[in-house]
């Protein structure tokens, strides 16, 4: 579990927070699956883009940032690590 889940939580309450997050595992797994699908769709869409109209580089950067956000969220939702 990433330490972000307990960041800012008093030491006495950290175990309770970890237990709370673990109890939500089924819901978090569904969310993780949804984000994975969106990441894959965004990557496919970005790789198929042939629109090189003015500003295309901004669209490409936006697609890369969007993919990075999805990956970061998926990593945060992966509770089996750390």
- Between the alpha carbon of residue 39 and those of residues 2, 49, 69, 80, 81, the distances in Å are 20, 16, 9, 21, 21
Entry pTM: 0.80
Sign of CA dihedral 33, 34, 39, 44: positive
Tokens representing residue 56 in the block? 């295309």
Region 5-23 average pLDDT: 96
Q: Span 14-41, mean pLDDT? A: 95
pLDDT at position 27 over 70: yes
């Amino acid at each position: 579990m990433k330490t972000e889940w307990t960041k800012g939580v008093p030491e006495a309450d950290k175990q309770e927070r970890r237990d709370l997050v673990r109890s939500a595992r089924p819901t978090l797994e569904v969310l993780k699956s949804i984000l994975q699908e969106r990441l894959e769709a965004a990557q496919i869409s970005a790789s198929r883009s042939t629109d090189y109209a003015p500003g295309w580089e901004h669209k490409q950067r936006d697609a890369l940032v969007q993919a990075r956000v999805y990956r970061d969220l998926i990593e945060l939702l992966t509770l089996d690590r750390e």
